[in-house]
Structure 1
Amino acid sequence: MFFFDIDGTIKPYNRNISISTRNTIKRLKELGNIIFLATGRRYNEIKFLMKELDIENAVCAGGATVVINNNIEKEEFFAKDKLKNILYECKKYNIIIVSVSNEKCYTTYKGIKLLPYIFLMKILSKTRFFKIGSVNGIALNSYMNIKVVDEKTFLEKSTQKLIFYNYRHIKKVQSIKEYTIYNNVFCSSVEFEFKEKGIEYIRNKYNVHLDNIVVFGDGLNDISMFEYAKNTIAMGNACEEIKQRASFITKKSNKDGIEYACKYFNWI
């Protein structure tokens, strides 16, 4: 079983997926291997990519969602009590909080201060500096069309990611200390980072030995699955934290790194 991160791994930042990567995935499948995407993206954000690459399985939302044969088998969300604490602290420090559900975004904020951020998002989404949202423009729209709801409705939403605007005091929010805070040009965000739990669920379901698991990744949200697996392939463009945990470092994602590693180990 092969688990591939998307951004910076299968898909180089600001570039299309290479022909060599597409052919490598196709060849791996032809040889009887099972392919999974392993990403921080929500399922609705990667459906188009799964169809494009003819991949039917995925560990999404940083491990919170497991998809097998295009069916959701397992999902986890932020607990209501935890969301309530985060929302309370954000109000205390005047931080605009937006929850990312399966297909939509929600906020309890009713003012106009959110509008400049949305406008900036629209502008930056057309540049190479944009790294929030989705790997395609369709799901990206959900990050720009944010619905205002009351607190009760906000807490009842199936939330797998939180985005913070006007986040100058974000470090004061104690209820998100357990998460990695990702800072962007105009916002911060937290999301689940336990891809290894999704892999463990799949291993147990199919009774697969850990030696038969291969993971590819490049970023901080891949650390947990790199510490979990034995066969860990870091892209040449990976962060140092990933390279230090890798059993093998391949070429960069935009230099046919996936094909190189798979040929090196005679997987194709």
Structure 2
Amino acid sequence: MDKRKILFFDIDETLLSHKTFTIPESTKNALKKAKENGHLIFINTGRTKSLIGDDIKELEFDGYICGCGTYIEVDNKVLYNNIVNKDKYNAILESLKKYELKAVLEGVDAIYIDENSQDDFLLSNLRKQNYPIKSYDLDNMKFNKMFIRYDDNEYIDNFCDETKDIFDYIDHGKGTRELVPKGHSKGSGIDFLVDYLNIEKENTFAFGDSNNDISMLEHVENSIVMGNGNPDLFEKATFVTKNIDEDGIEYAMKYFNIIK
């Protein structure tokens, strides 16, 4: 068995502060030291690969689990890429239209939106990040998962029921849901990589903050929840660290003797 430790990191509010919209310098230094000490560092995010910014890429992770386990990459080599069956696209789009729901279809190369019905707020936020945005296209688009902002739309449960054979969903509150192909999660991505790399379970660590991190926290030996995270996750954690903006990543790595 490989004796190295393997560390999995969520992005939003774990590595990337939504207060400063930057990655704390202490986090950058801690990641660098962990690699220098011979450990493996991986992104494990709900974002698909097209939504990984240069600020993350420049930290030189050993690989990525993206789209809640639908895409896995190690050392620039794609090991797994689950795309929603194209035969289902028309039914999904028709259901979205019927219930007047605003969805972002997230793929490896681009994200897809209905520019005719999408609200200006969501569109402007996506464009501010310079994400590769394309319109719905039955013939040419490929996507791994979905994100829906439904606000007070009362039909969200109807949509989820109509697509229950395709997707599981994660309720993030505040009128948003993440729909992930059945059988996939951040946890399934961890299982795949730990097996592929032959890592001992005791050397697995996950760092997260929100509901879509639950499976990730449950599939490692050492689960770390950010102090700024959802308090409901604290009881699921091996360790609750400090807030992201209070050097929480560095603090946790020192606690587990990953770095000095």
Under a length normalisation based on structure 2, what TM-score does the superposition of the two structures give? 0.82
Match of 1:206 in 2: 197
Match of 1:253 in 2: 244
Residues 1:190 and 2:196 are matched in the alignment: no
- Mapped contact 2:169–2:178 kept (Cα < 8 A): no
Residues 1:137 and 2:129 are matched in the alignment: yes
Secondary structure, in 3 states, of the residue corresponding to 1:14? coil
State the shift of 1:255 in Å: 0.5
CA separation of 1:209 and 1:14: change in aligned 2, threshold 3 A: same
Residues 1:2 and 2:7 are matched in the alignment: yes
Output one character per residue of 1:77-121: Cα deviation in whole Å (capped at 9) or x when no partner: 2234554443343233233544222233335x58x433xx1x323
The counterpart of 2:117, out of the listed 113, 120, 138, is 113
The counterpart of 1:13, out of the listed 18, 22, 25, is 18
- Mapped contact 1:85–1:175 kept (Cα < 8 A): no
State the shift of 1:228 in Å: 1.4
The counterpart of 2:71, out of the listed 65, 71, 90, is 65
**What is the alpha-carbon root mean square deviation over aligned residues?**
2.7
CA separation of 1:188 and 1:214: change in aligned 2, threshold 3 A: closer
Aligned equivalents of 2:227 and 2:144: distance in 1?
29
Aligned equivalents of 1:165 and 1:4: distance in 2?
24
Q: Name the structure with the higher helix share.
A: 1
Q: Which residue type is aligned with residue 72 of structure 1?
A: V
Residues 1:227 and 2:225 are matched in the alignment: no
Q: Which residue type is aligned with residue 170 of structure 1?
A: I
Residues 1:175 and 2:166 are matched in the alignment: no
Residues 87-96 or 199-208, more deviating: 87-96
CA separation of 1:34 and 1:158: change in aligned 2, threshold 3 A: same
Secondary structure, in 3 states, of the residue corresponding to 1:266? coil
CA separation of 1:122 and 1:96: change in aligned 2, threshold 3 A: closer
- Mapped contact 2:190–2:219 kept (Cα < 8 A): no
Output one character per residue of 1:130-153: Cα deviation in whole Å (capped at 9) or x when no partner: xxx59x8222xx3xx44243xx42
Q: Which residue type is aligned with residue 179 of structure 1?
A: Y
- How high is the sequence identity, in percent, across the aligned residues? 30
Secondary structure, in 3 states, of the residue corresponding to 2:52? helix
State the shift of 1:189 in Å: 4.4
- Mapped contact 1:250–1:261 kept (Cα < 8 A): yes
Secondary structure, in 3 states, of the residue corresponding to 1:237? coil
Q: Provide structure 2 residue ranges, at least 5 long, that are not aligned to the other structure.
A: 1-5
Aligned equivalents of 2:130 and 2:32: distance in 1?
25
State the shift of 1:67 in Å: 1.2
Aligned equivalents of 1:95 and 1:247: distance in 2?
38
Output one character per residue of 1:28-53: Cα deviation in whole Å (capped at 9) or x when no partner: 11110011111111113225234321
Aligned equivalents of 1:8 and 1:166: distance in 2?
22
Match of 1:262 in 2: 253
- Mapped contact 1:40–1:191 kept (Cα < 8 A): no
Q: Provide structure 1 residue ranges, at least 5 long, that are not aligned to the other structure.
A: 126-132
Output one character per residue of 1:138-169: Cα deviation in whole Å (capped at 9) or x when no partner: 22xx3xx44243xx42xx63212324467722
Q: How many residues are treated as equivalent by the alignment?
A: 245
CA separation of 1:182 and 1:33: change in aligned 2, threshold 3 A: same
